Every structure is written in structure tokens, then in C-alpha cells.
Amino acid sequence: MVPAQRLAIIAALVAILTLFLTTNQAHAGEPPSPSPSDALSVTSPIAPTYRVFATRQGRVGRRTANGHVIKPRDRFVALPSWSVLSSRSGYEYQVRVTYRDRSVVLPVWDVGPWNTNDDYWSPNRRYGDLPPGLPMAQAAHQHGYNNGRDEFGRRIRQPTGIDIADGAFWDDLGMTNSDWVEVTFLWLGADPFVATGNQTAADRAVIEPDAIVVDDAAEGYAAIEGRNWQSANCGIGGSHAWSYDTPGATARSQHRAIWTPPLPGEGFYEALAFIPACGPTPTEHARYTVTHNGAVSEVVINQAAASGRWVSLGIFHMGPGSSVMLTNQTGSDGRAVHFDAIKWRLHNDVHPPDAAVVEAVLLPEGGIRVSWDGEDDVSGIASFDVQVRRLPDGDWIDWLTQTTEHEAVFVPPESGVYAFRARARDWTGKESLWPDQDDLQIATL
């Protein structure tokens, strides 16, 4: 790139960032937004916020960069720099992600997307010819920076600056597709969301008109075991029950409660527990048992991280007789287990799943190990189809159909370049379309 072209691109990027900051200042009743240099000052009491493009991260069962095994409906983010990776299950680096009228604080447990050395929030970022707050991937995708490629030479397909795990993406933020969000980098200053009082306890405790709620003192709730229950004056309905945790099960120390909702019929329901913001320090290992249509699922929730808000236990196929149970048996971390309201929300599965071949590796014996993955927003993925073709002019051929695996070895009949693509279907029968282009290509020896 010649110097004149680079200067033109930088000028355009600075103009875009300036326009965004100016637009934020125009909102009625809001204080003026700081300039990038002011917002990122190490002496500033307020953490900087930037608008970036967010995508959803699924890959349940895989490990993140800090060793965390990804769970269904998980809650964390990935940022494209190793410099802000929290320790395994740690909260040293956190961000606040805000989307429309929802906001959530999440730890940084993975590295990506696209790059691994793009600290775009830093005033002394690696890509010093880009303004703070502008991800290198966005500059590459929208303006041809670095010839439109990431640090590994891959062509960037989306201007992504953050990946958000499923639970936060779907449940906390209410997102259905990749979109622009506001990200506040909380290790760089105070949380402006709290400092300016933008959210109240009532906002976080919202109960939607279509939700079914069973409080801890209402019909459908039963304390089925335990002595000397404690109470605190906050939560849904103005109070809630709690008990100190225990590692064992004695008649005196064990406490259990069950919530049984009056569901009108079968369907996919999301169960959410409200974690009140008063009383003794909440446990990090609250064990909820969800009974749904003859099956039982155990969900472990960090109540301390969810204090003052609803936290999702997951989406399940439920009907009459379904329930949620909570016990104070945690393995004991010396904290309290809080028993408040549970709510259920019906989810209509209207979107087909997403799927893609994500990796192809040549094996020493000559085969190709191919991996694929996908996500579905409600019912989950039931099976995948995978096709292959030989380039440049071979037809697409069905290789695997209705497989539940995520990996297999393809043995090419002859040397050449092979392309792969995948699709998926969910448990309601909805099927994704085949992509127009291949997901990836690999050349055999």
C-alpha cells in the first residue's frame, strides 16, 4: 500500500470513529461522550466504551484459551488479544456488553475473533496507525486494511471485534443474529453503567407479560427439606429464603426446595432463576436440577456472578409436571445458597440452525481429518450433512448424511484440491440451506 493510500484510509477511519462518538453525544439527557484520548486515559475514572460488531460463540465441549470447557448457554467473551485473558474461571478482565435495552458483565475467557494481538481498546495498541476503539478486523473488512486479511493471512469475512458465548448472546442480551453492540472495558476504569445509575434493581428483575413465575412464597413452591431456613428482605416479591451451603446431606444441614410451574402445555421453555442482591455472599456452585419431559438435567450456577438479575438455566422441552429443584449441597465454598423466584418463558423455534466445516487437517497416512460444528437457538442440533467436491469443476457429493458426529476422516480417491461444506437440522426438523460457497478447501499431496 502506498503512503497516500494509507493516509486516506486512516483519515476515513478517524472520521468514522468521530461520527460515532458525536452520535452518542446527541442522545437527549446523556452527558457528552469523551474523545478516544480522554476516554482511554489511565487517570480517567470511567472505563471507555466502543461500538463493535459481535458474533456468537458456540462450540460446546471445546476448551477456551484459558482452559475453560464450554457449557451449553455459557457466559463469557473472546477478545482478540492474549494480553487481557482471565485465568481459568477467573474474573481479572471483564467487559460490559450492552445491546439495545439489555446489558451484562462478562469475563474474558477466550482469545479471538480473527486476531490474537489486537488490543484495540488500548491507547498504545499494536496497530498504532489505527485509532483506539476500532478493531483491526473491522478496518480490514470495511476499508481493506492489511489487504483485508487478519494477522494469519486469512481473508476477513466479518468486521468482528468480540465473540459472545451462547448464554449471554441469546439469554442475557436477547440477540438473535450478529450485530453491533457497545462494549465497556472494565479493567480500564469505573463501570459507567453503574456510575451513572443507568439501571435499577427493578430493571434487572423485569418479568415479561408472557412469563410464568413461581416465587419462593407462592403456589407451586415447596421447601421439601431443611430446618432453620433463613430469609432476607429483597428479591422478587420483596423477600427470599436462603441457607448456608453444606458439603454433605444430614437432616439438620440439608435444605431443598422445588418450583413446579403451571405450564399450559408442551413446548420449549427457558427456565431462569432470580438471584437477589442482599443477604450473605452467594455461592459460586448452586446446583439446580431441571426435570423436563421425563429427563433430568443438573445445572451449576455461579450465584455470586449473577447477583441482582435473572440467570438462565437453559432451554428445555417441557410440559405439565416439569420442575426445578435447588439444594444447598454445593461441595461447600463457605457461602450461602439463595432461593428466590423461578420463571419460565416459551421459546418458539422459528430459525434453522447454523453449520459449517471449521477445520481440515492432512494426516500422515494420507487421509483428511474434517471437523464441523453448528449452533441452534432453541431446540438444538439433531444431525449434520457434509458434502465434498474436487476442485476446480467437480460436483458436490454427499459424504455424510444425518450424522451426529462432529469429526470424521475423508480418504480422497486421488490427489488434488478438495472443498467441504456442511448443513444441519434441529430437533423440530428445520434444516439449514447449503451455503453457496464451500466452507474451506485443502490440497492433498
pLDDT value of residue 253: 74
Q: Which of 187, 212, 241 lies closest to 40, judged by CA?
A: 187
Distance CA 174, CA 347 (A): 12
Predicted confidence pLDDT, tens digits, the chain (445 residues): 444 444 444 444 544 444 344 334 433 333 333 333 333 333 345 888 999 999 999 888 889 999 999 988 899 999 999 999 999 888 899 999 999 878 888 999 999 999 999 999 998 999 999 999 999 999 999 999 999 999 999 999 899 999 999 989 998 898 999 999 999 999 998 877 765 555 445 445 778 878 899 999 899 999 998 888 999 988 888 899 999 988 765 545 789 999 999 999 889 999 999 999 888 889 989 999 999 987 899 999 998 888 888 888 988 999 989 999 999 998 877 899 999 999 999 888 778 888 999 999 999 888 999 999 988 878 888 899 999 999 999 999 999 999 999 999 999 999 999 999 999 998 888 999 999 889 999 999 7
- H or E, element range at 77: strand 77-79
pLDDT value of residue 249: 57
Domain spanning 3-199: CATH superfamily:
RlpA-like domain (2.40.40.10)
CATH fold for domain 354-443: Immunoglobulin-like (2.60.40)
pLDDT value of residue 45: 57
Q: Which residues pair with 251 in a beta bridge?
A: none
- Whether the upstream peptide bond of residue 113 has omega within 30° of 0, thus cis, is yes
Distance CA 177, CA 56 (A): 8
- H or E, element range at 11: helix 3-25
Q: Which numeric CATH code is attached to 205-347?
A: 2.60.120.260
Domain boundaries, the chain: 3-199, 205-347, 354-443
Q: Which residues pair with 441 in a beta bridge?
A: 419
Q: What is the DSSP letter of 70?
A: P
Spacing of C-alpha 165 from chain mean position: 2
Q: What is the DSSP letter of 158?
A: S
Distance CA 26, CA 136 (A): 27
Which strands make up the sheet holding 286-292, listed edge to edge? 221-225, 256-259, 323-327, 286-292, 295-301
Distance CA 305, CA 201 (A): 15
Burial class (CB in 10 A: 0-12, 13-18, 19+), 385: buried
pLDDT value of residue 252: 59
Q: How much is the pTM? A: 0.52
Q: Which residues pair with 432 in a beta bridge?
A: none
Contact 415, 445 (CB under 8 A): yes
> Which residues, in sequence order, are CB contacts of 264 under 8 Å at separation 6+?
none
